[in-house]
A and B are shown apart, each in its own frame.
Chain A
Amino acid sequence: MAHTGRHERPGHPEQPGEEITFQKKERAAIRGQEINDSLNINSIMDIMTILLVFLLVSITSDPWNVKPNQYLQLATSTVDRPPEDSLAILVTKRAIVVDNQDTVPIECMTAGGRQCRSDDDYRKDGNRYFIDKTYKEDGAESSFLIVNLLKKLTDKLDYAKEVHAGANPNEPFKAITTIICDRDIPYRVIAEIVHTAGNAGIDQLRFAVMRNSRR
């Protein structure tokens, strides 16, 4: 049986004054031991090095390493199709991002009809998200074509075609885009993005979702 209490040890001083002195001596002895004996950390080093390499490989090899935040929460689905190599369009609560650049801002109005300003506003339910008409074709509210996004996608697609033609001249080019969309983005914005992507020449669409075993 392991004894942990000092009073249980044989020959331990019983007087309070003596006890304090003994404690001091005991601590000093432990400290001295710590200093003199080198700690064998080789095993921990091995584990940590393996863990580090594993994490580095996992993070760098996964192009769909989407980090959720308050502006981007993915919808859940039981779908089991892995992401493909494609042009990613990130749709957060604040902007449409292509190639790590904010291409078109997304407007947010609270349920009270006020523009979202603080982070707390974005957390509330009942917000309305939309794209301002100034970013649409002819500045028309009813238009589904987002001009800035169309230009950006066309440029990206032209570049991708050139790269593909150089690398695989015999294979036909597949214009695929993966839309990584926040769960609260309304159908109107999605339809506008999809329509614009279609106009840019993208014919295959994928929507990123978070895999969930429960539907």
Chain B
Amino acid sequence: MARKPSSASHSDSGGNEELNLSPIMALLVILIPMLLAMFNFFEVKVQAVAAPKLGTGKTSKTDPDKKPLNLTVLISKQGFLIKQQDELTDAQEKPIPKDTFEIEVVEATGVTTKTAEDYDYPSLYNRLRAKKQRYPEETTINIAAEMDIPWHVIARTIDAARIELQDPSFEGRERMKKYMASEPVMKQSKKDIDGDGAVTDSDVEPVAMFPRVVFVVAED
């Protein structure tokens, strides 16, 4: 409503009137939920992978006494198969078939247990750990998969080969649960992991098993 000039000039509000923050509040109330919706509450990390090799290829190493292990995990719809240089022609390793596991799934309603068929990552880890103990110098693992194997299976396979876990092996029906909850073995790092500007006792990193991953594609 329009005020008379006289009443406006004689109003007692003067300079003491408080700033009306309600419009700014309204703006913030809209902006903050919008930004929260844009915000990611998960961490994005990266897995380094070397460029793929087409076919088995020839080794570039010239030293005949030091043949590369050429450890390869083949992922098929049935499960895993591990091969290495001296086994490429005749399969000696037993395949690791898929199995049925009871897995705890965290949902909005709580933790539920589901029984489902899945790749036997714990058994794959057991075999790869045994390989690492036999060939401690080897750091490379080749990953080959059937063409329709989805990326999440490959990512979990890389995870099983990457680092050493505290449990030496995973056996029995509960092995998937134990494997999923298992913590990595940590060692003192030579790098400044925590970013405090110095290498201290708190700078620890996981003990690597096969950190160098190479994608391999078999030629038709």
Contact = CB atoms under 8 A, between A and B. Distances in A.
A59 B37 CA distance: 11
A99 to B, nearest CB: 19
Interface stretch (B4-12, B60-68, B89-97, B148-156): B148-156
Contacts of B52: 191, 194-195, 198
Given A51-B32, A84-B46, A183-B152, A215 B38 contact: no
B36 interface: yes
Interface string B29-49: 101100110111011111111
Contact of B159 (A144, A186, A204, A215): A215
Given A75-B156, A128-B148, A194-B49, A38 B18 contact: yes
Contact of B44 (A59, A142, A144, A210): A210
A74 interface: yes
Contact of B38 (A59, A202, A204): A59
Interface in B43-91: 43-52, 54, 75
Interface in B11-31: 18, 21-22, 24-25, 28-29, 31
Which of A62, A190, A202, A206 has most B Cβ within 10 Å? A190
A55 B148 contact: no
A135 interface: no
B49 A206 contact: yes
Contact of B182 (A82, A202, A215): A215
A200 to B, nearest CB: 11
Nearest to A62: B40
Interface stretch (A15-23, A41-49, A116-124, A158-166): A41-49
Interface of B: 18, 21-22, 24-25, 28-29, 31-32, 35-36, 38-40, 42-52, 54, 75, 121, 145-152, 154-156, 158-160, 162-163, 179-182, 184, 206, 215, 217, 220
Interface of A: 38, 41-42, 44-45, 48-49, 51-52, 55-56, 58-59, 62, 64-67, 74-84, 128, 142, 144, 178, 181-188, 190-191, 194-195, 197-198, 202-211, 214-215
28 contacts: A38-B18, A41-B21, A48-B25, A48-B32, A52-B31, A52-B32, A58-B39, A59-B39, A62-B40, A65-B40, A76-B155, A77-B156, A83-B45, A144-B217, A183-B152, A183-B155, A186-B148, A187-B148, A190-B154, A190-B215, A194-B49, A195-B217, A202-B51, A207-B151, A208-B46, A209-B47, A210-B44, A215-B159
5 closest A-B pairs (Cβ-Cβ)?
A183-B152, A188-B147, A211-B43, A206-B46, A75-B155
